[in-house]
Structure 1
Amino acid sequence: MLRGVYFDAWFPRQHCYHPSLPPRRLRMVDDLVDYRANLLVWASMGGGSVALPYLEQEAFGAVEPRSRFYGFVNDSEFVAACQARGIKVLGIVFEAQGWEFPVELDEDESTVLALNELRGVGRSGWLGLREFSSDRYPNLWPAFETYFPGGLRNSAGEPVRDLIEECVARDIHGEPCHARWVECPDREHQCFYMDRNNPVWRTYLKAIIRIQVDAGVDGIQLDEAELPLGAMQYGACFCRDCSTGFRSYLQQLAVERRPAELAGVDLADFAYGPWLLAQGYDFQTDQQASPLFGHYYAYQCAAIERHFAELADYARSYARSRGREVLVTGNFFNLDPHYLPLAEHTDFLITEMRNTTDRQPEWFRYADAFARHAGGREVVVVENPYGGVVPEVAAALSVGRGYDRMRLSLYEAAAFGANMTVPYGSWMGAIEQDSFWAPHGLLVECQAFLADTEDLRSPVSANELAVVHSVPSSRDLIARADASDNLTNARDASVLVPYRVVTETLSRAGVPFDVVLATDGELQPDRFDAAELARYATVVLPGCWWLTHGQVTSLETYLDGGGRVVVTAEPGQNLSDEQTVRLRAHPGLTRADDADAVGLQPLGPQVAHTGDPAAGLASQLQRLPGSDAVACHLVNYGYDEEADAVTALVDVELAIRLDATSVSEARVVRPGRPEELVPVRLVDGRHTLTLSEVGVYTVVVL
């Protein structure tokens, strides 16, 4: 299994400056070995979005003796040192970021005296993509054509002299967009939001990949993998390539699918931006109400898969041309469904969860469903400093508090189907002047337990209950609830998403469940079928008003086989009554309220325990490979702020309904405690045992 480290290694008490990561030291490798790490994410060689010569200096640059004294190495040397210890390092490609930094140079502009953080010396200027592509500093960097013989030309055949001007995402008024979430507001630097739909930018990104592969990275991580779909938070993109691409999309629509708004409109020279402005829409205010919004979204969904695949294929083919194989992955942010087609082109998934909180089993169960839909890929999770608890936890750890909150973060992910990375100077956003570090001994303790108990985790659950996430039914509601930009990641609590209400209700009640994705079959592949549902005793459909006819048929087949379906709204309202009447009238279908934890479980709880469920105990059942064993993972969220610790539950009677019949004893595994065997008895059809103590994390193996 993957054991990742969020390896930015930014400095404490200083901004986390994108895109250039601090120099690496050999001692860091020793730390990583202590953490039992086998994968580093956001780890190496991010400077390509400053300039290719800058990236080459990161990868291969000379290290002065004074720095060698303390074990500093360049990035290619660091990669080799990690590989010697069995640790894979990913090169990070900041796809959306195009940087310009203030700089101070000597008189002949051949030496950088200060960059980003200035000293008031030498000649002032700017250093970044614009200067690189225009050969502004011939004494400092090799010429642009050194990397692109003959130069680059855009889709109109024009020579490119300014990468930012050419490749930046633009709003409806033609203004360039900035990647605000990485710009430090008290610094002069600028980060422009670049557009991967522009073939020039893709050509540039391929050059970054070549340098990283040549430097020996084990894999390529494409950050901002949905580029430029994420630019919609800034009212974009209306650059030339997005506009011509959308026009082509509309022209290729079948006549019966052509939107009514385009009746009588000549598409030969159609320009979406001016067309919207003429009708009073700015693509920012109530964006989803903009005419043709759904088609624009569909166009961008297709574009992001096509161009992500192009870069993924290029990375693999270039590495093979150099006699190597590399892994490919991307930052899939909150695992929004538009990432599903991209996942097909990865070796594993990385997600920068939108909101990092102290308790979110429901999010990890969704991540598990996403991974299963994508062919069973492993999921590596990193925390997000915006809109969550990370700054608070980091501050607590810095004064010796919050240890159990950190333990919960790592153990929760393992219990519910993912790998939560260890923070190693990880990102705290562009506003905080700090990075996220945790006490070394605490991380060693947690990682040792997770590594030593790896055989107690499995991607195959033994849960009886599944919750269907109908992507078309929830898409607009989730977009409204999560409409804030990346600087806040706020959620509008007034927008109720039935799927979220149901899964949060079940999680707070400690109910183990799986999530099953039901997509539209067009923007995302549809893999919903009766065979997948057959292993569940109950399937819950929260607010699933939109279903395909095939999904209705699968549900009917599941019901005919003895399954139970619970709906919280009339299913399949997008279909005709004739197509849904049998489903709605089926005797195996019942109705419940979104927030009714009891009504959502017609068979009663699969896992029950003494005490109040609100006390904070959550469970997950996993079938262990190569045996008939089932592991019940128990996470205790009962953190007491005053005591600064999770309150252990004592003499807990645990009852689990399983299809096994011959369990006489269970193995109990806990961090920092010797394993013990406890007797199991069958009571009212449940395997029942008594646990002397349940702390932060307990695994019961039956």
Structure 2
Amino acid sequence: MKKQHIVGLMLLGVLIVGIFLIVLFPREKAYEEPSGMPTEPTTTPTPSPIPQFPSEESTAAQEKELAWYEKVNVFATPLMDLPSFVTAIDIGDFAETPAKAQFIALQVSFFHSLGIAYVGQVSIYNIEGSDTLSVYPDLMEALALNIDGEYVDAWWQRFPGVEPYWGSTLHPRWQEFLRGQVERLIDAGVDGIFFDELMGSAGLVGDEKHNGDFNPVVLEGFRTYLQQKYTPKELKDLGIDDISTFNYREFLISKGYAQQVRDPEERWDVPLFHDFYAYIESENRKFVIELMKYAKDYAGQKDRDVAVTANLYGLNSYSLNFAPYVDYFFVEFPFLKDYPKITTCAPILRLGNSFGKRAVLVPDTVLTVPRLLEMGDTATLLQMWIAEAYANGGSLSAPVAYIGSSEGNGRDTIEIFSADMTLMEPYYTFVLEHPECCQSLYTKEDVVLVFHAPSDRDSGEEYRSLFYEASEALLSSNIQYNVLFLDGENSGKLKASIVVLPEPTVPLTEEEEIVLSGAKVIEFHGGMSARDLQAAVIDEIEPIIEVRADKVEAYVFDNTKGLVVNLINKAYDIVSERITDASNIEITISLPEGCNVSSVRMLSPDEDIDISLQFQQYGNKLNFVVPSLHIWDIIIIEY
């Protein structure tokens, strides 16, 4: 079966699948839980009959959404070197139990009938609760426990009928449970698998509301870790007299550190807590990578080639460990009124490209109802993100609706806010009909912006901020660049002449310095202005394009026949939610030596424009005027 690289359509999975299951088919509790810790179920009920999809109970709104997809079917994304576009639903449902897997098989069949690929989901730590625990009661022993010995409540995942808990991701039974989900998804016929919540139990150690995973299996593994890392004398100096009987949770309680561990800031000053985090993070990382490989291996055993992706939320150093193992680069954004900022999409997309993977940006559409009411119309912002995503060699998964939930500890009520998808349709239709604008493109590496993986959880945010600022400075002056992920695994010297290096949080290694040694390195630090960086680069190299207009960014790509220039209007006002159109934009492009232009063509999804432009060429300088720009114009220059 031909390999499909799948991109996501976040809402369809959440709205039609998740909400369909949750709202239309509410699940009764398999057992009652007293307040406090849940108890193990004593019986395993017979699974309920699997509802057909679509159901007669589907609401008019859902039927309208399905009809829209069947008619248009253009939420498509070109990935890697595919000759055509793939439409996908992402993220679909979990296959926690055989019954749920049967339902997923029905969904897969339905969406395939529409020409839509289906990407299933595996959460590294989340379990939906009563339903699954009633089928697998032994999973209770594999749930995470906090410092007080209580089960960890993944409260933000709670919806009507769902009682979520946090799995102990280092526990062998939990790992077996996740491998079973992978197998059931592949057997159900999914085209891809999306792995979410990659931090697993390590996310508990650094979480503000929780304080660690103190499951007995984790504590036993940590005891072995300490025994291998420290000498008996060092252990004694740390307050451990007998490592053979050491229990970290009991140690913290007996030494009076329990309250300090509950504090998200103070816990890092507790003895051995950094070791505790390092151990859990390392073991969790190794398991997640093994699970991704297992998905590929199991699919191969079934003569199938299933795409694998994962949520690299935040681009922190931990998430980027998984980039080499995914088929496409998936980054979730919290969907607020002004975020993802229009200045942060490009560097993230290009970072994905540095791994040889297409990057997909996915706005997180689960918000509180009050927040949704504040947001108002975000159509223009979404249109800009779509343009910026494709103009930077990536993709954007736009939501067809927003899921609003109540405030407070959990999501007790859900409301659906439909988005006007007709506003997005022209953009995705354009991408579908004009692959020459988005595929088989490349940029010359004259300027490279370095992403040096932050060394730890504390330095990540500061470094990413510098990385984004450097990108904004380059793009606002239309300096074309590629991104290099520098992590010590690179080899050889860069072909680029200029390297922009945001000030690293740790010194470069000798190997990393060798990689950069063939280029002029311009270090960008916190005290440096955008104008200073622009001047430093322009002193060394002439930008390939000059745009005589404010707040218009250009993205220039080569193809086999000439150049593709994406123009994006960044004159967006967050308050008014409007964009100011530009007109009569003068463009000058420095052409490669010996190139003679035969035609200049302008296309735009804004008003379905496809026209020829007059141009003048003097030597290697090409001049032309773009008559209008609302959001996105594409200029095709042929030699």
Normalising by the smaller structure, the TM-score range is: 0.7 to 0.9
The 2-side partners of 1:329 and 1:409 are apart by 21
- Deviation of 1:670 after TM superposition, in Å, equals 1.0
Alignment match, 2:40: none
Deviations 1:251-270 (A, max 9, x none): 44487xx9997597654444
Does residue 455 of the first structure (1) align with residue 436 of the second (2)?
yes
Deviations 1:65-94 (A, max 9, x none): xxxxxxxxxx42331233344422112223
Residue 40 of structure 1 contacts residue 89 of structure 1 at CA under 8 Å; is this kept in 2?
Answer: yes
Does residue 80 of the first structure (1) align with residue 18 of the second (2)?
no
Does residue 396 of the first structure (1) align with residue 401 of the second (2)?
no
Which secondary structure does the structure 2 equivalent of 1:31 belong to?
Answer: helix
The 1-side partners of 2:324 and 2:193 are apart by 15
Alignment match, 2:558: 623
Alignment match, 1:649: 582
Residue 359 of structure 1 contacts residue 637 of structure 1 at CA under 8 Å; is this kept in 2?
Answer: no
- Deviation of 1:295 after TM superposition, in Å, equals 4.2
Matches within 5 A, 1:525-564: 526-531=488-493, 533-543=494-504, 545-555=506-516, 557-558=517-518, 563-564=519-520
- Residue 76 to residue 635, structure 1, CA distance change in 2 (3 Å): same
- Residue 299 to residue 643, structure 1, CA distance change in 2 (3 Å): closer
- Deviation of 1:321 after TM superposition, in Å, equals 4.2
Which secondary structure does the structure 1 equivalent of 2:151 belong to?
Answer: coil
Which secondary structure does the structure 2 equivalent of 1:303 belong to?
Answer: helix
- Residue 188 to residue 30, structure 1, CA distance change in 2 (3 Å): closer
- Residue 170 to residue 40, structure 1, CA distance change in 2 (3 Å): farther
Alignment match, 1:70: none
The 2-side partners of 1:316 and 1:448 are apart by 32
Does residue 10 of the first structure (1) align with residue 15 of the second (2)?
yes
Matches within 5 A, 1:23-42: 24-25=53-54, 28=66, 31=69, 34-36=72-74, 37=76, 38-42=86-90
Does residue 417 of the first structure (1) align with residue 355 of the second (2)?
no
Does residue 128 of the first structure (1) align with residue 152 of the second (2)?
no
The 1-side partners of 2:359 and 2:405 are apart by 22
- Residue 510 to residue 393, structure 1, CA distance change in 2 (3 Å): farther
The 1-side partners of 2:601 and 2:194 are apart by 39
Alignment match, 1:608: 546
The 2-side partners of 1:687 and 1:389 are apart by 51
Alignment match, 1:438: 419
Which of 178, 185, 194 is the aligned partner of 2:153? 178
Alignment match, 2:314: 334
Residue 99 of structure 1 contacts residue 190 of structure 1 at CA under 8 Å; is this kept in 2?
Answer: yes
Which secondary structure does the structure 1 equivalent of 2:628 belong to?
Answer: strand
- Residue 429 to residue 308, structure 1, CA distance change in 2 (3 Å): farther
The 2-side partners of 1:20 and 1:527 are apart by 49
Alignment match, 1:218: 191
Residue 542 of structure 1 contacts residue 594 of structure 1 at CA under 8 Å; is this kept in 2?
Answer: no
Which secondary structure does the structure 2 equivalent of 1:344 belong to?
Answer: helix
Alignment match, 2:44: none
Alignment match, 2:567: 634
Matches within 5 A, 1:193-592: 193-231=166-204, 232-233=206-207, 234-253=210-229, 262=238, 267-275=243-251, 278=255, 280=257, 281-282=260-261, 284-286=263-265, 287-292=267-272, 294-354=274-334, 357=338, 360=341, 362-374=343-355, 376-385=356-365, 392=372, 396-397=376-377, 402-425=378-401, 427-428=403-404, 431=407, 433-435=414-416, 437-458=418-439, 460-462=442-444, 464-472=446-454, 475-478=457-460, 497-507=465-475, 511-519=479-487, 526-531=488-493, 533-543=494-504, 545-555=506-516, 557-558=517-518, 563-569=519-525, 592=528
Which secondary structure does the structure 1 equivalent of 2:484 belong to?
Answer: strand
The 1-side partners of 2:271 and 2:569 are apart by 48
Q: What TM-score, normalized by structure 1, do the two folds share?
A: 0.70
Q: What TM-score, normalized by structure 2, do the two folds share?
A: 0.76
The 2-side partners of 1:305 and 1:19 are apart by 37
Which secondary structure does the structure 2 equivalent of 1:176 belong to?
Answer: coil
The 2-side partners of 1:99 and 1:171 are apart by 19
- Residue 19 to residue 389, structure 1, CA distance change in 2 (3 Å): closer
Q: Percent identity of the aligned residues?
A: 19
- Deviation of 1:552 after TM superposition, in Å, equals 1.8
Residue 333 of structure 1 contacts residue 352 of structure 1 at CA under 8 Å; is this kept in 2?
Answer: yes
- Deviation of 1:436 after TM superposition, in Å, equals 5.5
The 1-side partners of 2:113 and 2:386 are apart by 26
Alignment match, 1:492: none
The 2-side partners of 1:393 and 1:602 are apart by 45
- Residue 308 to residue 538, structure 1, CA distance change in 2 (3 Å): closer
The 1-side partners of 2:271 and 2:513 are apart by 30
- Residue 346 to residue 644, structure 1, CA distance change in 2 (3 Å): closer
The 2-side partners of 1:285 and 1:130 are apart by 30
Which secondary structure does the structure 1 equivalent of 2:609 belong to?
Answer: coil
* Runs of 5+ consecutive residues of structure 2 not aligned to the other structure: 27-50, 56-62, 77-85, 408-412
- Residue 338 to residue 623, structure 1, CA distance change in 2 (3 Å): farther
Alignment match, 1:191: 164
The 2-side partners of 1:498 and 1:260 are apart by 43
The 1-side partners of 2:218 and 2:619 are apart by 62
- Residue 264 to residue 684, structure 1, CA distance change in 2 (3 Å): farther
Which secondary structure does the structure 1 equivalent of 2:173 belong to?
Answer: helix
Which secondary structure does the structure 1 equivalent of 2:175 belong to?
Answer: helix
The 2-side partners of 1:390 and 1:632 are apart by 40
Residue 463 of structure 1 contacts residue 620 of structure 1 at CA under 8 Å; is this kept in 2?
Answer: no
Alignment match, 2:632: 697
Residue 548 of structure 2 contacts residue 587 of structure 2 at CA under 8 Å; is this kept in 1?
Answer: yes
Deviations 1:32-66 (A, max 9, x none): 56132434344433262xxx25415xx24xxxxxx
Residue 340 of structure 1 contacts residue 370 of structure 1 at CA under 8 Å; is this kept in 2?
Answer: no
Which secondary structure does the structure 2 equivalent of 1:423 belong to?
Answer: coil
Residue 143 of structure 2 contacts residue 168 of structure 2 at CA under 8 Å; is this kept in 1?
Answer: yes
- Residue 170 to residue 600, structure 1, CA distance change in 2 (3 Å): farther
- Deviation of 1:449 after TM superposition, in Å, equals 0.6
Whichever residue aligns with residue 428 of structure 2, its letter is Q
Whichever residue aligns with residue 648 of structure 1, its letter is D
Matches within 5 A, 1:37-76: 37=76, 38-46=86-94, 48=96, 52=97, 54-56=99-101, 59-60=102-103, 75-76=104-105
Deviations 1:430-476 (A, max 9, x none): 75833454224223222101112222225633464322222236752
The 2-side partners of 1:92 and 1:303 are apart by 22
Whichever residue aligns with residue 443 of structure 1, its letter is M
Alignment match, 2:534: 598
Which secondary structure does the structure 2 equivalent of 1:383 belong to?
Answer: strand
Deviations 1:287-328 (A, max 9, x none): 555555554444334323322233334334444444433222
- Residue 385 to residue 293, structure 1, CA distance change in 2 (3 Å): farther
- Deviation of 1:636 after TM superposition, in Å, equals 0.9
The 2-side partners of 1:504 and 1:389 are apart by 32
The 2-side partners of 1:602 and 1:389 are apart by 47
Aligned residues: 569
The 2-side partners of 1:23 and 1:230 are apart by 37
Alignment match, 1:109: none
The 1-side partners of 2:146 and 2:318 are apart by 21
- Residue 429 to residue 501, structure 1, CA distance change in 2 (3 Å): farther
- Residue 272 to residue 600, structure 1, CA distance change in 2 (3 Å): farther
